[in-house]
Amino acid sequence: MADPHLSYPEAIVVGLLQGVTELFPVSSLGHGVLIPALIGGRWARDLNLTADKSPYLTFLVAVHVATAIALVVFFRRDWARIVVGLAISLRDRKITTPDQRLAWLLMVATVPVGLAGLALEHAVRTSLGKPVPASVFLILNGVVLATVERLRRRADAPGGRRGPVPVGAPPGHRGRGQVYAATGYRGASEGRGVSAGHGHDDQAAVASDHRLAGQSWAQGLLIGAAQILALLPGISRSGSTIAAGLLRGLPHEDAARFAFLLATPVIAAAGLLKLPELAGPTGHGILGQVLAGSLVAGIAAYLSLRFLTRYFETRTLNPFAVYCVVAGIVSLAWTTLA
What is the predicted pLDDT for the residue at 135?
97
Q: Please classify residue 314 by burial: count the beta carbons closer than 10 Å to its beta carbon, then call 0-12 exposed, 13-18 middle and 19+ buried.
A: exposed
What is the predicted pLDDT for the residue at 159?
62
- Say if residue 45's pLDDT is above 90: no
Indicate the SS3 state at residue 193: coil
Q: What distance lies between CA 49 and its chain's CA centroid?
A: 20
Q: What is the pLDDT of residues 258-315, one digit of tens each?
A: 999 999 998 888 777 777 777 777 677 788 899 999 999 999 999 999 999 999 999 9
- Say if residue 198's pLDDT is above 50: no
What is the predicted pLDDT for the residue at 187?
38
- Say if residue 185's pLDDT is above 50: no
> How many other CB atoms sit within 10 Å of the CB of residue 176?
20
Residue 112 — pLDDT band, cuts 50, 70, 90? very high
- Degrees to nearest 5, angle at CA 210 with 206 and 211: 120
Average pLDDT over residues 223-248: 95
What is the predicted pLDDT for the residue at 52?
66
Q: What is the pLDDT of residues 52-104, one digit of tens each?
A: 667 787 788 889 889 999 999 999 999 999 999 999 999 999 999 999 999 99
Q: Please classify residue 119 by burial: count the beta carbons closer than 10 Å to its beta carbon, then call 0-12 exposed, 13-18 middle and 19+ buried.
A: exposed
H/E run at residue 318:
helix 318-337
Residue 183 — pLDDT band, cuts 50, 70, 90? very low
Instruction: Return d(Cα 9, Cα 278) in angstroms, integer.
Output: 19
Helix 318-337 to helix 28-39 angle (10° resolution) is 40
